[in-house]
Amino acid sequence: MKALLNNFIQNEFLLDLVSRAAGFAITLLASFIILRICRSALRRYQNSQPDNHRRSTICAILNSVVHYCVYFFIFVQALNQLFGINVMSLLAAAGVVGIAVAFGAQSVVKDMITGFFIIFEGKFEVGDIVTIDDFTGTVDSITLRCTTIKSYTGDLYIVPNGSIEKVLNRQKYPHDVSIDVEIAYESDIDTAFEVLRECGKKAHKEFPMITGDLKVLGVVALGSHGVTIRCLVPCEGGNQYDVEREMLRRIKYAFDENGIEIPYNRIVVFDKRSKNDK
């Protein structure tokens, strides 16, 4: 009789274990199906406009959130179905601990809330050239926790979203590139103006990033070596550095062709001995 009872208990335990494992396997399969459907939907949404940086950022965030939610659901179901742990009572107990932890994690909460509004408002996106805390570079990634900026030399600047107060976005809208060129006092200023305007018209036709003709603002300084002339060149957002380098190259060639001298430091040596000899 005792052997039959032990056998019954053992069989019932095995049946219960198999039932729990089967239930968790179904939950696991359903979770991965949901995860794959969500991932596929996000991929289609992103591929509908592959060059849209905001879509790429939102899809990356949503993909991360979906993964975390599904994994948390699997963890909760594993505790409930495999080990028989009452998750509700566990969460209630964890809530008390969570309140205490929340006071020590205010900066993390602030970072996540700020990150949400950065993504939602789209003031800057992945691929934009921005300046944050005197650091200029291209936005490499945006998460709820932090923003990563990469400089043209490859340096990474990782800044928590909660500490971002002011952002200079250099890519969002068209720009006017300010270019200062210095000519020697012996050169004719009006001729330099005409050369600069002609150089700007030619660059507008040949350089697609430039959206308009160069505008000469005039003389802005009378320095110790020469006269400084300021110009404005309209261009597409994010291309101002390329435009500035290209225009300086073209201006140098144009000045050389028209005999306009760019000043440089010179040293004049007087030989008193030769004077006395005379």
Percent of the chain with pLDDT over 90: 19
Same domain assignment for residues 164 and 187: no
The count of domains in the chain is: 3
> What integer is the mean pLDDT of 244-248?
92
Same domain assignment for residues 182 and 226: yes
Fill in the amino acid letter for 152.
Y
Q: In degrees rounded to 5, what are phi and psi of residue 223? A: -90, -175
Which alpha helices (DSSP H) does the chain contain, by range? 2-47, 53-77, 87-104, 106-121, 189-206, 240-257, 272-277
Same domain assignment for residues 197 and 162: no
Same domain assignment for residues 185 and 92: no
Q: Does residue 158 fall inside a structural domain?
A: yes
Please answer whether residues 243 and 209 qualify as being in contact, where contact means their C-beta atoms are separated by less than 8 angstroms.
Answer: yes
What domain range is 221 assigned to? 175-257
Same domain assignment for residues 44 and 85: yes
Q: How confident is the model at residue 144 (pLDDT cuts 50, 70, 90)?
A: confident
Q: Between helices 106-121 and 87-104, what is the axis angle to 10°? A: 90
CATH number, residue 158? 2.30.30.60
Fill in the amino acid letter for 189.
I
CATH number, residue 242? 3.30.70.100
CATH number, residue 28? 1.10.287
Nearest to 137 by CA among 151, 126, 154, 124: 151
Look at residues 104, 139, 155 and tell me which one is the last residue of a structural domain: 104
Q: Is 196 exposed, middle or buried (0-12, 13-18, 19+ CB in 10 A)?
A: buried
Please answer whether residues 92 and 75 qualify as being in contact, where contact means their C-beta atoms are separated by less than 8 angstroms.
Answer: no
Q: How confident is the model at residue 23 (pLDDT cuts 50, 70, 90)?
A: confident
Q: What is the pLDDT of residues 212-229, one digit of tens each?
A: 889 999 999 998 889 999
Look at residues 169, 190, 209 and tell me which one is the last residue of a structural domain: 169
Q: Does residue 99 fall inside a structural domain?
A: yes
Same domain assignment for residues 156 and 218: no
At residue 249, the pLDDT reads 93
